[in-house]
Amino acid sequence: MKGKDLLSIEQLSVEEIYKIFSVAKDLKAKTKRGEQHHLLAGKTLGMIFQKASTRTRVSFEVGMWQLGGQGLFLGASDMQIGRGEPIKDTARVLSRYLDAIMIRTYSQAEVEELAEYADIPIINGLTDLLHPCQVLADLFTTLEYKGDLKGRKLAYIGDGNNMANTLIQACAKIGMDIAVATPPGYEPDAGIVGKSLAAAAASGSNVTLSNRVSTAVSEADVIYTDVWASMGQESEQIKRQKDFAGFQVNSGIMKLAKPDAIVMHCLPAHRGEEITNEILEGPQSVVFDEAENRLHVQKAIMALIMGGI
Ligand code: CP
Ligand code: NVA
């Protein structure tokens, strides 16, 4: 995988996804044992942020440190990019200094342009459309808890946003069933759904979209939700609170899933909106293991694409 970009799950084969998981498992075990694993000694990851972050920033920065390299935080508003320097120039300049770039921004097209002009690997750290690093950590966490992925069912309740889009892509590819329930008007990206239906036909999984939470949650192994208003949508918060009534993960919803279903949320969470405090803090919630796994999975991604393995 050396030299490869990670802009979208679509770019990964099923074999590459399981390779990331096996390296992540190994690096997680080494980290827990305190065993040194300087696979990227002397290498630098640039981390461009146009949006806020807690998990992504810290897990990438600490991950690079644990791999023997360094993560360099680049706040977009402090860079010339924030004053209008073109992405294509930024890409070529940064390629002369860095070994890879992780970028969090609004537009997926911007990340693709960065990748087109850079000659180092580019990692998508979240766009309005996709959040592939999060979803790889989510599937790795599901694998840890359930032992397998193929044939399992994930129910996504809430906004058809970057998380929903990426979960659809990943489940369809890996052979997990995914049932998405959104309020009318908040469906996932139609282009992604269309391509994922074809991928699901090939992997033998089911992708279903509806406005019915109870049908989506029925017999689910994983219940997933995310905020109703994502970064950049803060002005729609009040309207969305009304539109999303009935789309909350709560104890009533959990009764419809499998009794051993796990609950996931990419975090940050808004308790009392998309999920109750009781469920987020309850025994079925795995949200903090999920957050921890960002570190291990991203270390695997970086080691593989930056030539450490
Ligand atoms: N889940 C996630 O990406 O969190 P941050 O926004 O804190 O990075
Ligand atoms: N959908 C959320 C995810 C945050 C990790 C957002 O884009 O703000």
**CA separation for the pair 244, 294 (Å, rounded):** 28
Q: Please work out, in degrees rounded to the nearest 5, the angle formed at the alpha carbon of residue 37 by the alpha carbons of 31 and 41.
A: 135
Confidence of residue 45 (pLDDT cuts 50, 70, 90): very high
Distance 186 CA to ligand 2 centre (A): 15
Distance 218 CA to ligand 2 centre (A): 25
- How confident is the prediction for the chain on average, in pLDDT? 98
Peptide linkage before 268 cis (omega within 30 of 0): yes
Q: Residue 102: what pLDDT? A: 98
**Catalytic residue, candidates 108, 138, 152, 266:** 266
Give the position, in ligand 2's atom list, of the atom nearest the Cα of 233.
8
Confidence of residue 248 (pLDDT cuts 50, 70, 90): very high
- Ligand 1 pocket: which residues have CB below 6 Å? 53-56, 126, 134, 266-267
Give the position, in ligand 1's atom list, of the atom nearest the Cα of 131.
3
Q: Residue 246: what pLDDT? A: 97
Give the chain's domains with CATH numbers.
Answer: 9-131+294-305 (3.40.50.1370), 134-290 (3.40.50.1370)
**CA separation for the pair 182, 262 (Å, rounded):** 20
Q: Considering the entire predicted model, what is its pTM?
A: 0.98
Percent of the chain whose pLDDT exceeds 90: 100
Q: Are 46 and 101 in contact (CB under 8 A)?
A: yes
Percent of the chain whose pLDDT exceeds 70: 100
Q: Are 273 and 248 in contact (CB under 8 A)?
A: yes
Q: Residue 131: what pLDDT? A: 99
Q: Residue 83: what pLDDT? A: 94
Confidence of residue 1 (pLDDT cuts 50, 70, 90): very high
Q: Is 26 exposed, middle or buried (0-12, 13-18, 19+ CB in 10 A)?
A: middle
Mean pLDDT within 185-204: 98
State the CB neighbour count (10 A cutoff) for residue 198: 10
Confidence of residue 80 (pLDDT cuts 50, 70, 90): very high
Mean pLDDT within 128-147: 98
Q: Residues 138-180: pLDDT tens digits?
A: 999 999 999 999 999 999 999 999 999 999 999 999 999 999 9
